[in-house]
Amino acid sequence: MGAVTWIARRELSNYFGSLTAYIVVILFLLMTGGMFWLDFFQGFPELSMRRLFADAPMFLAFFAPAITMGLVAEEKRSGTLELLMTMPVSDTQVVLGKFFAAVTLLLVTFALTLPYALSISTMGDLDWGPVIGGYAGLVLLGSTYVAVGIMVSSWTKDQIVAILLGFFFCFTLFIMDRMFSNQSGVVAQTFEYLSSNYHFQNIARGVIEVSDVVYYLSVTTICLTAARVTLAARRW
């Protein structure tokens, strides 16, 4: 784990050493916070975090590719990836290190939204079950989107291509349950199960099912494995 930790720290240093991470995090907080408080103060305020957890998954489809677009693509373009590969680290360690760094940035971002919950909890009895479930869902969903972003970043040297592909795949996963929402049967159920938002909404209700967790872990594992295979191909 030493190499994974070193790579994660290296990427976190790069994040906080540039303006990109700050801009993306601030934009995420402004968009989610703005919509949350606007909805909260319209009419009779509802003591719940439902609005945040309704909007955040869509914004994450943009946010996650933005923080992962350069994790591999930029290193390919600048040639630093070749230097990294000469060090005593495996492809798996490289992928995991970058993954944990991006997830850590996500956790920091989610932590900055906790004052929303603390603020409305002072106004009455806030049901913390759905709040905890919502944040757990955000971590699982965000980690999955990060894995998707790392996978597509490993495919190209162009960060623009990486962010566009990442957004395409993440947003497709997000809306997949709505593609056949007016139909029934095996096809509709399959697309529903493949939807990241479908599983998130289940968890956000405060009930964490094993099938939902397995879904996120499976997609994350598949994407990280695909990224590792792409990196390994460079050694052949």
pTM, 2 dp = 0.88
Are 71 and 155 spatial neighbours (Cβ–Cβ below 8 Å)? no
Predicted confidence at residue 34, as pLDDT, reads 76
In angstroms, the CA 80 to CA 78 distance is: 6
Predicted confidence at residue 181, as pLDDT, reads 62
Are 191 and 177 spatial neighbours (Cβ–Cβ below 8 Å)? yes
Instruction: Give Rg (Cα) of the chain.
Output: 19
**Residue-wise pLDDT tens digits, 5-27:** 888 888 888 888 888 788 888 88
User: What's the whole-number mean pLDDT along residues 52-70?
Assistant: 85
**Residue-wise pLDDT tens digits, 173-209:** 888 877 766 666 777 778 778 888 888 888 887 777 8
Closest residue by Cα to residue 4 from 83, 69, 101: 101
**Residue-wise pLDDT tens digits, 147-180:** 999 999 999 888 889 899 999 999 988 888 777 6
